[in-house]
Chain A
Amino acid sequence: MQTKPSTKTNSEFFLVLKAHLAEYLNKPLLNLGFILSLAIATSTLLCILVLNHASEQQYQAANRGLKSPVSFYIVANSGDNISRHDFSHLKAQGFYQLAPIHLFGKTLASGKKISFRAIDILPLVLAMPKSFTTHHINLSSKYAKALGLTLNSTTDINDANQITLADGQSLKVNYNQINDWGKVALVDLPLAWQLFPDIKGFSHLMVTAISADEKARLAAALPEYLSIQEAWSLEEREGFADALHLNLSALAILGFIVSLFIAFQAADQAWQKRGELAAKLRLLGVELTSILKVMLCEALLLTLLASIIGIAIAFALVSILLPILGITLEQLYQLRQSGHFQWHWLYSLWAFAISAVAVFLALLKQFRLISSAKIALTARIVPQPFNYRASAAIGVTLLAVFLLWPEVYGQNSWHLLMIKYGLLLIASVALLPNILSYLLKGMSYFTRSFRVKFVVKDARQQVGRRYLPLAAFYLALTASISAALMVNSFEKAFTAYLEQLLSADLFISYNPKQKNKVEAWLKQQDDIDEYVLFKQTVAKYGNDTLAVHALMSAKQQNSLLFKARSSKQQATGQFSCYINEQLSLKKGLALNEQFTVEQGLQQLTCTITAIFYDYGNQGYSVKIPLKAQEIPLSGWREHGFAVYFKGRNNLSTAALAEQLGLDNEQIFLPEEIKTMALAIFKQTFVLTQAIAFVLLIIACFGLFLSANNLELARKPDLHILSSLGYSRIELFSHMLMQWLLLAFGVLLLSWPIAGLLAKALVAKVLPASFGWSMPLVLDIAPFALTSITGLLILLPALAIPLYKLNVRASLS
């Protein structure tokens, strides 16, 4: 007899490890479903996180690109040009940031209008000597094509082409491929004065970013016939971009919960399979610590494997979704965004952490069961029945916390609001088994047929076993419905907003010199119902700057989408005003309150008679339903005329521009802008909808795996039914009906919770983060479509494992 000495601890650990590894060697596909579901759940979440991170980076990049080097302009109030003397006078006072510009237009011999931008072109010549010259007109290829000019592309920069104006004047033109300046021909200012003696001085002065003090000093130094005009900003579009980002963040949080739940339930089922082996080993005298160590090693390896596969899937998903994000950004900002992202090592860590959290939480649960459960001589861990009371207690506690959680609308408080509504979601998940149980109890009470009653009663008994996959389905369904509701509300609200805001048939902008000609034309037209002048100034409310608009006509007032309106009659002699929602929420202003704005020494006190929606705007706005001259404020600037025709009008904007001597860009059709804006909007939410759909598919995949395992575990019960005379088709319909009953119960709960979540997003989270909200549009379509999609995906997920189970079922 020979006895080999062995190190006790090591040999026990390796023996248990060998037993665990043998499971994989004998069944190569063991835990494949678990690894895949964990990988997919990881990848979904990773994908959302990466997209969110990438979008954040791209928004930042886009915003940097959007920040105009121009802070504001100096323009002449009367419509005259700014003289060279004014320019030199300001320069002499130390305002070196001023850049003079002259915009003017001419007519070509062909009859087409050509726009010129006269600037100091020397910096461009120094930077790109082969493309720009101070000696000739600089014309881009795109603009030349638009003007119908055929130029010789091989021409040397000094041997220029020629174009002829309507008055016969010939101009030497340098043709280049730099299209960044849009539809203007660039010309050096001295050359412009030399070629066109009618051009005097500058149309405006451009000012780069300067400090507030310096700006105030400049404003004080300006002669009274000159004033400051703020540069055009992309604030409104930034607002919508931020809203998209918030949607992604909200979905990331929902996605995190759904993915974690699916991964957890997949891990839970995988570890349950380990229960029998652990029980056998315990009977043979293996210590708990040895089993735990081996299970930890196994968990670590599974986590690693799932993370690697998850990262690979995330890479593929992101490669598909990121270009959509790129297109969205391009449409939002008119910027060319590449839509690519750089892989950061942190992403891998995220993936590993997500998998690890799910696997180790499930492992902890299983290990608690192994270490505390009674192990019978049959080597089975006697499963503990589902604890409905504990589940209800958790649900009710979370619900109480949700109800007591204060709703704070402070700066960046949207995270707190999301946590609050996250609690509601988790509370509903905890209450789900009790709700389903009582629902089925009620149904069985009203059911007469013996067979149906048996299906319902049996389904009630299965609620505890099927809780985790049902909860995952519930979470995904609720997240998808609330996302669909949110998108629907955005679409409806935004469409209504655009319909009202862009209700005019035509909009004509003009510079002061063009105004008289435009107004004269408007007065002559018989088919014009009304034309409305848009006037705006700025004022202060405390330390905040407000845009003040004069609403000159009823049509302008009707263009507003009111959130609230006072029914009180205004006392004679009092001013009334409408404020935007942002101002109302952030400054706590309510209807019928007195409100005072200041402009230097001038003051305007008015009563707030309405609060209007101003989606996407990050600034404050006040509208006063009076003519500008009746309002005790100054510095009014005119934007242009909104024109309303009596009937349908097929006016050509190009012909009208030519007739009025305006550039094509000065006349636009609001309908076109509306169509374009809606197209941008639809693109914006493609990503949100795609992620919500992916979430639903992932949940159904999780459900498929769960159904597979759960139904296989029910084989003995089904064999009993089979022995009692149930045919395969009857067994199949029995099981399918049970799942559908439970899915129906899940639907019933998910609808109101999804509605509440969507309401929280659009009516609470949006104002908390941006200061504006929108009404929740509760159409049946998002509920029905998402639920039908969920059920359609659910059917094969259930039918396949059930079919497999029944076909293979036998009394043996």
Chain B
Amino acid sequence: MSLLIQSLNHQIIDGDNHRQLLVDLNLSVAPGECVALMGDSGSGKTTLLNLIAGLEPIQQGKIAVAGISLTQASDRQLSQLRKQHIGIIFQHFNLLTSLSVQDNIEFSAKLAGRYDVMHGLALAEQLGISHLLKKYPATLSGGEMQRVAIARALNSKPKLLLADEPTGNLDQQNSSQVVAQLVQLAKSNNTALLMVTHSADVAASMDKIYRLQESSIRLVTD
């Protein structure tokens, strides 16, 4: 399994109150499988992504990415895990604005020690951004920036791809194109994809749709 979550419990402090956000949550995503995670605002979708990315400490339960448990991992081990096995695509792209498109795409692959010029170029070709390689993020449109972010995330050949509302800043046409390319690339690279989205259309492109509701996760469509 690329991602395995077992009996995950998580509570947050809201003022003086402790609120149970996630209760006994179980989830698994296989290599090449694309999963959509939906839910109302405040249901805990982003918190779950943060927990999987090792950005928040696990309070109770188990999360394993590519067979590596995050539960007792140190900060250094979590960094290694993000570097080696997790790719993240953000709603606000989070490109390194001072680096060119090519440098951005190469960055995570070099960081993971899996730098492959041809792979990067192939990804750029498939995403239709090969003519933008020398440009800087500030000069790109939202759709172009998200394609660069996808290329960067996939270039390091991660086992798991986390996407936090990747189409949140894109129009309908761009949104459909980007999601289609993302799913196709994830499958061709045998990478598991867990995408948080509010869009039913985007979710419909995935293999499975889960809904987070009242602290628990429920499979909506298979």
Instruction: Identify the A interface with B (CB < 8 A).
Output: 1-6, 8, 11-12, 15, 18-19, 22-23, 25-27, 277, 280, 282-289, 371, 374-379
Min CB distance A24 to B, Å, is: 8
Nearest B residue (CB) for A279 = B94
Using A287-B76, A288-B79 as known contacts, list a sample of 18 further A-B pairs with CB atoms less than 8 Å apart, ordered by residue number in A: A1-B119, A2-B117, A3-B114, A11-B111, A11-B113, A19-B99, A26-B136, A280-B96, A283-B90, A285-B80, A285-B86, A285-B108, A285-B111, A286-B79, A375-B55, A376-B50, A377-B46, A378-B90
Beyond A3-B116, A26-B136, whether A288 also contacts B75 by CB under 8 A is: yes
Complex contact B98–A374 (CB within 8 A): no
- A8: which B residues are within 8 A, CB to CB? 113
- A6: which B residues are within 8 A, CB to CB? 110, 113, 115
Complex contact B53–A283 (CB within 8 A): yes
Compute how far the CA of A6 lies from the CA of B115 in the bound complex, rounded to whole angstroms: 9
- B49: which A residues are within 8 A, CB to CB? 377
Beyond A1-B119, A282-B79, A377-B164, whether A23 also contacts B98 by CB under 8 A is: yes
Q: List 23 A-B contacts (CB under 8 A).
A: A4-B116, A6-B110, A19-B107, A23-B98, A25-B98, A26-B136, A282-B79, A283-B55, A283-B82, A283-B88, A284-B108, A285-B80, A285-B81, A285-B82, A287-B79, A288-B79, A371-B75, A377-B49, A377-B53, A377-B88, A377-B90, A378-B91, A378-B94
- B108: which A residues are within 8 A, CB to CB? 284-285
Complex contact A19–B96 (CB within 8 A): yes
- A2: which B residues are within 8 A, CB to CB? 116-118
Min CB distance B222 to A, Å, is: 27
- B119: which A residues are within 8 A, CB to CB? 1
What 1/0 mask marks residues of chain B from 99 to 143 whose CB sits below 8 Å from any chain A CB?
Answer: 100010001101111111111000000000000000010000000
Min CB distance A707 to B, Å, is: 25
Nearest B residue (CB) for A371 = B75
> Within the complex, which residue of B56, B80, B86, B110 is in contact with A15, where a contact is CB–CB below 8 Å?
B110
- A379: which B residues are within 8 A, CB to CB? 90, 92, 94
Nearest A residue (CB) for B100 = A22
- A376: which B residues are within 8 A, CB to CB? 50, 55
- B167: which A residues are within 8 A, CB to CB? none
Min CB distance A601 to B, Å, is: 86
Min CB distance A42 to B, Å, is: 28
Nearest B residue (CB) for A282 = B79
Complex contact A22–B98 (CB within 8 A): yes
Nearest B residue (CB) for A27 = B98
- B115: which A residues are within 8 A, CB to CB? 3-4, 6
Complex contact B56–A374 (CB within 8 A): yes
- A11: which B residues are within 8 A, CB to CB? 110-111, 113
The interface size of chain B toward A, counting residues with CB under 8 Å, comes to 39
Beyond A1-B116, A379-B90, whether A12 also contacts B111 by CB under 8 A is: yes
- B114: which A residues are within 8 A, CB to CB? 3
Complex contact B99–A22 (CB within 8 A): yes
Compute how far the CA of A5 lies from the CA of B113 in the bound complex, rounded to whole angstroms: 7
Compute how far the CA of A23 lies from the CA of B94 in the bound complex, rounded to whole angstroms: 15
Q: Which of B55-84 contact A (CB under 8 A)?
A: 55-56, 75-76, 79-84
Min CB distance B102 to A, Å, is: 12
Complex contact A26–B83 (CB within 8 A): no
- B82: which A residues are within 8 A, CB to CB? 283-285
- B117: which A residues are within 8 A, CB to CB? 2
Compute how far the CA of A199 lies from the CA of B143 in the bound complex, rounded to whole angstroms: 112
Q: Which of B49, B80, B90, B98: most chain A Cβ within 10 A?
A: B98
Q: Which of A3, A5, A23: most chain B Cβ within 10 A?
A: A3
Nearest A residue (CB) for B162 = A377
- B96: which A residues are within 8 A, CB to CB? 19, 22, 277, 280
Min CB distance B195 to A, Å, is: 13
Complex contact A284–B111 (CB within 8 A): yes
5 nearest A-B pairs in the assembled complex, by CB-CB distance:
A285-B83, A285-B82, A22-B98, A379-B94, A26-B98
Beyond A8-B113, A285-B83, A378-B92, whether A1 also contacts B118 by CB under 8 A is: yes
Nearest B residue (CB) for A284 = B108
Min CB distance A298 to B, Å, is: 13
> Within the complex, which residue of A3, A4, A280, A286 is in contact with B83, where a contact is CB–CB below 8 Å?
A286
- B81: which A residues are within 8 A, CB to CB? 285
Min CB distance B90 to A, Å, is: 6
Compute how far the CA of A289 lies from the CA of B81 in the bound complex, rounded to whole angstroms: 16
Compute how far the CA of A289 lies from the CA of B118 in the bound complex, rounded to whole angstroms: 31
> Within the complex, which residue of B90, B98, B112, B136 is in contact with A19, where a contact is CB–CB below 8 Å?
B98
Min CB distance B107 to A, Å, is: 6
- A25: which B residues are within 8 A, CB to CB? 98
Compute how far the CA of A375 lies from the CA of B82 in the bound complex, rounded to whole angstroms: 14
Compute how far the CA of A292 lies from the CA of B88 in the bound complex, rounded to whole angstroms: 23
Compute how far the CA of A22 lies from the CA of B90 in the bound complex, rounded to whole angstroms: 22
Min CB distance A19 to B, Å, is: 6
Compute how far the CA of A581 lies from the CA of B54 in the bound complex, rounded to whole angstroms: 72
Q: Which of B49, B79, B107: most chain A Cβ within 10 A?
A: B79
Min CB distance A41 to B, Å, is: 28
What 1/0 mask marks residues of chain B from 157 to 170 whose CB sits below 8 Å from any chain A CB?
Answer: 00000001000000
Nearest A residue (CB) for B117 = A2
Nearest A residue (CB) for B106 = A15
- A22: which B residues are within 8 A, CB to CB? 96, 98-99, 103
Compute how far the CA of A481 lies from the CA of B107 in the bound complex, rounded to whole angstroms: 54
Complex contact A377–B50 (CB within 8 A): yes
- A289: which B residues are within 8 A, CB to CB? 76
Complex contact B94–A285 (CB within 8 A): no
Compute how far the CA of A135 lies from the CA of B91 in the bound complex, rounded to whole angstroms: 105
Compute how far the CA of A22 lies from the CA of B116 in the bound complex, rounded to whole angstroms: 22
Compute how far the CA of A731 lies from the CA of B92 in the bound complex, rounded to whole angstroms: 29
Min CB distance A513 to B, Å, is: 91
Compute how far the CA of A288 lies from the CA of B84 in the bound complex, rounded to whole angstroms: 16
Compute how far the CA of A25 lies from the CA of B112 in the bound complex, rounded to whole angstroms: 25
Compute how far the CA of A805 lies from the CA of B92 in the bound complex, rounded to whole angstroms: 25
Min CB distance B188 to A, Å, is: 14
Complex contact B83–A284 (CB within 8 A): yes
Min CB distance A382 to B, Å, is: 11
Complex contact A283–B111 (CB within 8 A): no
Beyond A3-B116, A25-B98, A377-B46, whether A286 also contacts B92 by CB under 8 A is: no
Compute how far the CA of A11 lies from the CA of B111 in the bound complex, rounded to whole angstroms: 7
Nearest A residue (CB) for B97 = A26
Compute how far the CA of A4 lies from the CA of B107 in the bound complex, rounded to whole angstroms: 14
Compute how far the CA of A379 lies from the CA of B56 in the bound complex, rounded to whole angstroms: 14
Complex contact A377–B55 (CB within 8 A): yes
Min CB distance B81 to A, Å, is: 7
Min CB distance A32 to B, Å, is: 16
Compute how far the CA of A276 lies from the CA of B171 in the bound complex, rounded to whole angstroms: 26
Compute how far the CA of A4 lies from the CA of B118 in the bound complex, rounded to whole angstroms: 11
